[in-house]
Structure 1
Amino acid sequence: MPAPVSIVIPTLNAEEELPATLEHLMEGLAAGLIRELVVTDGGSADATRAIAQAAGAEWVTGAPSRGGQLRRGCAAAKGGWFLVLHADTHLEPGWAKAVAQHLQEGQGSPAYFRLRFRARGLMPAWVAGWANLRSRLFGLPYGDQGLLIRRAAYEAAGGYPDQLLMEDVALVRRLHGLTALPCAALTSAVRYQRAGWLRRGRRNLWTLAKYTFGVSPEKLAAQYRK
């Protein structure tokens, strides 16, 4: 019987982060969980493709829109479950056991990881704590927390929309019974460190609020880049 999980990773010039992300997936291979790796790229001009292909990944390419990339990647995947990860996310040791247990006992519900940053200090802990609280109370995990979802549930929800921003929120708002897995996704803190933890966190919250009240993803993406 084929392994159940297809790993889907969107990339754009990810040569610095992708090797370590793939290394942290190795325990899933040893556990017989991973059927395939799908890297869905938005036009990288660095060594991303060489790294992905050296790891045996299926390479999917198209326009640089994370929603569109994820939609294409999931369409190419063959597993009964998708595990969608960002290219700068390292899964904590023990993740394969947690995923295997969820597949056996989670009654098919979608699941996500607790967020942690690969940085020390009060602000990384505070921002991650808020993200985990938001996920628990409102059922809104972001893409950097990973998403484990059964193919049937993904398709029933309409999949990722082909949009530039908030594709993760658009999908999880259509899901039910989201479960927090008992291990963490350790994500890069670089963007927060560059912009400032409070400033970046405030901007993310404001972007979510505007999206909730109907501002288009295209307009939000243009504002976000500024």
Structure 2
Amino acid sequence: MQLSVVIPVLNEAEHLARLCQQIRSLVNAGCEVVVADGGSSDASLALATEPGVRWLSATRGRASQMNAGATMASSEVILFLHADTYLPDTAIADIASAMAGPGACWGRFDVVIAGRSRLLPVIAAMMNLRSRFSGIVTGDQAVFVRRDVFSQVGGFPQQDLMEDIELSLRLRKRSRPVNLRTKVVTSGRRWDDNGACKTILLMWHLRLLYRLGTPAAELAKRYRR
């Protein structure tokens, strides 16, 4: 299986050392790595000189950046990886095995959230459980999808928030996701900075409003307050 890894970045200097290490491991494993920059003004620009990286500048916004990266990707399967999310050593083999199953066209990993709050293990467990039953995937869970299927469903919607939820709804019409129990590790900085309980309640509230039809642009304003 050929695998392209698309990483959207925007001023990710905080995670640069570990991100570079992960990129080198992916390149050494034979993956195509596409870094889609949304206008970084910090040391993230050093990623452009990493050996094996295909670098592009894209319109700021995670959906826009990932769509641009997917356009450049040439492999049969694309993995969308947030800059602060880190793969397990077995990730490539796990994806290959998952996509070899009958009818499999997309999937995701379970997630562990790294941070200070004692609630983070509970939050991660609930995210994984909810995703397993609903077929809805968050970007922190490292979504992978066949490139042709991603194109057929129109890619990520051009919206400021909930782009991962909307993509899941589109892909779920094709098939249920493959739910890998192997875990990626993602940063818990959002929960640590804003408070775990407050962040949980905010995200539940925003998801409910989204399902009720509130425009993503309005939800993004509330999310950033």
Alignment of 1:1-226 (within 5 A): 4-24=2-22, 26-32=24-30, 34=31, 36-105=32-101, 107-119=103-115, 122-175=118-171, 176-226=175-225
Contact 1:5 1:80 in 2 (8 A): yes
Aligned-pair distance for 1:198?
0.7
Aligned-pair distance for 1:75?
1.1
Contact 1:21 1:91 in 2 (8 A): no
Moved more, 10-19 or 99-108: 99-108
Identity %: 32
Q: Which amino acid aligns with 1:12?
A: L
Distance 1:14 1:103 in 2: 30
Distance 1:17 1:52 in 2: 15
Aligned-pair distance for 1:27?
4.9
- RMSD of aligned residue pairs (Cα, Å): 1.8
Contact 2:117 2:192 in 1 (8 A): no
TM-score (norm 2): 0.91
Aligned-pair distance for 1:121?
6.0
Distance 1:62 1:109 in 2: 26
Q: Which amino acid aligns with 2:90?
A: G
Q: Which amino acid aligns with 2:222?
A: Q
Aligned-pair distance for 1:22?
4.1
Distance 2:67 2:27 in 1: 24
Partner deviation per Cα, 1:199-219 (whole Å, 9 max, x = no partner): 111111111111111111111
Moved more, 198-207 or 20-29: 20-29
Distance 2:118 2:198 in 1: 15
Aligned-pair distance for 1:165?
0.8
How many pairs were matched up? Answer: 222
TM-score (norm 1): 0.91
Q: Which runs of 5+ in 1 are unaligned?
A: none
Distance 2:104 2:133 in 1: 21
Distance 1:18 1:56 in 2: 16
Report the 3-state secondary structure (helix = DSSP H, G, I; strand = E; otherwise coil) of the residue aligned with 2:39. Answer: coil
Distance 1:29 1:39 in 2: 12
Distance 2:192 2:96 in 1: 34
Contact 1:19 1:51 in 2 (8 A): no
Partner deviation per Cα, 1:115-164 (whole Å, 9 max, x = no partner): 10123664011110111111011111100111110011111211111111
Q: Which runs of 5+ in 2 are unaligned?
A: none
Moved more, 49-58 or 133-142: 49-58
CA gap of 1:206–1:64, structure 2 versus 1, over 3 A, is same
Q: Which amino acid aligns with 2:56?
A: V
Moved more, 61-70 or 16-25: 16-25
Distance 2:54 2:75 in 1: 13
Partner deviation per Cα, 1:87-116 (whole Å, 9 max, x = no partner): 000112222221222233354320101010
